[in-house]
Amino acid sequence: YELGSPRGLPDALYTCCFLLALVLMGRSHRKLPLMLVLGFAIGLAFEAVGVATGLPFGRYRYVALDTARILDVPVVVPVMWGVFSATAYLAARPIARGVWLVLLASALMVILDLALDPAMTSWRAWVWEGGWGPTWHGVPFSNFLGWLLVSLVIIGTYELVLKGDGPDDAFFSLIYIYNLALIAIQAPRSAGLLALSLGLTVFCLLFLMELSCPH
């Protein structure tokens, strides 16, 4: 993919999401397709509201994403919500449970977006026309609060649907780190380095905590 073009990054991310979905479905359990559908549907609902009203992210419009659209939202966007949310949830499962799992997985989603939104904004996949708070590489602070809110809703729904049932496989942590690295190397340098550093630090600290806990 020609990442220097407006279509290159969205196309690469779309393909990455599709491949990751296949990998996740191959290694997980029968409820994973439902997780992907839930993430897609909830993400689509929030994005449609966001495009129409500016809530909860801030005012923006899609420019270079010329894929098919649903409710004026390019299909790749809710696909990313579904795959990234499922990946973050499954990456956090071996480490946390219950409320802590929801909070950790949602935090992982926000860390991912510290690189994702600056990357997509730099390629004009979408442009920001409003929001509140300081900006991070052209992305308003309100967007990251919106990401946290949507992530809490999606991950909380996963936990309610799965009722604590699911795979405890460290493989999903590697998928999350791979996903984060792919986005980070295409984001503005400081955005990519911050997101990747935070993601690696979180998993290193959690790994050390796991080792120190008696079994």
pLDDT at residue 32, rounded to an integer: 81
pLDDT at residue 46, rounded to an integer: 98
Q: Tell me the C-alpha distance between 147 and 144, whole Å.
A: 5
Q: Tell me the C-alpha distance between 168 and 91, whole Å.
A: 8
Residue-by-residue pLDDT tens, the chain, 215 positions = 333 344 455 556 656 665 666 666 565 567 788 888 999 999 999 999 999 999 999 999 998 777 789 999 998 899 899 989 998 998 888 888 899 999 999 999 999 999 999 999 988 889 999 999 999 999 999 999 999 999 999 999 999 988 766 666 677 888 888 889 888 988 889 999 999 999 989 888 777 766 555 54
pLDDT at residue 3, rounded to an integer: 37
* Token reading at 149: 């809110």
* Token reading at 13: 């991310």
pLDDT at residue 13, rounded to an integer: 62
pLDDT at residue 172, rounded to an integer: 80
DSSP string, 103-118: HHHHHHHHHHHHHHHH
Segment (H or E) for 74? strand 73-74
pLDDT at residue 19, rounded to an integer: 64
DSSP string, 123-136: TTSEEE----S-EE
pLDDT at residue 67, rounded to an integer: 73
Q: Where are the domains of the chain?
A: 8-206
pLDDT at residue 182, rounded to an integer: 84
pLDDT at residue 82, rounded to an integer: 92
pLDDT at residue 178, rounded to an integer: 83
pLDDT at residue 21, rounded to an integer: 61
* Token reading at 191: 């955005």
Q: pTM of the full predicted structure?
A: 0.86
pLDDT at residue 185, rounded to an integer: 87
